[in-house]
Amino acid sequence: MAQAYNRLSPEFRQRLHGLKAVHSGVEQVHNSLNNSGIARRDPITTEHPVVRTHPVTREKALFVNPQFTRYIVGYKKEESAYLLKFLYDHIALSQDLQARVRWLPGTVVVWDIMLSLTGLMANDAHLARITPQAERPYEDSI
């Protein structure tokens, strides 16, 4: 997500700074419960910056994703949808920013979740996810 951010024009990046987006896990929890699953987290909605700062490297990165990001705070519905679609397409269509793994027995993959957007393309992989707790996404001033 850092490289996706860096590929935007300086002027466009400037416009993204300071924007907040609402992220929601409500639908994910409800879908899990409706499919006889368990709720792994509380169904919450929260605001996060559209551009986040990595707490160690200080890199800027886009912090939006179609699974959780619902809308840009302060924008009209159609403006928010347009901007988010642009950012989602920018990320999804930049295939050279993507890593694809051919899962074999014993395969181990590690990535920095603070700068990554993940997705599973196959259903036969077993994943163990380790994520930092108590770290809230933030954006340093430029």
| Total domains in the fold of the chain | 1
Tell me the per-residue pLDDT of 35-49, one tens digit each, with 9 for 90 and over: 777 766 676 788 999
Question: Where residue 23 sits, what CATH number does that domain have?
Answer: 3.60.130.10
Instruction: Give the C-alpha separation, 80 to 86, whole Å.
Output: 10
**pLDDT score, position 27:** 73
Question: Which residue positions in the chain have pLDDT lower than 70?
Answer: 26, 28-33, 39-41, 43, 113-114, 116-127, 129-134, 142
Predicted pLDDT at 55: 86
Residue 89 · residue 83 · CB < 8 Å: no
Under 8 Å between Cβ of 135 and 53: no
In this prediction, residue 90 carries a pLDDT of: 94
Q: What is the pLDDT of residue 32?
A: 67
Closest CA to 43 of 21, 31, 27: 27
pTM to 2 decimal places: 0.77
What is the per-residue pLDDT for 81? 98
Question: Which domain covers residue 91, as residue numbers?
Answer: 1-141
Interacting residues of 17 by C-beta distance below 8 A, sequence separation 6+? 51, 139, 142
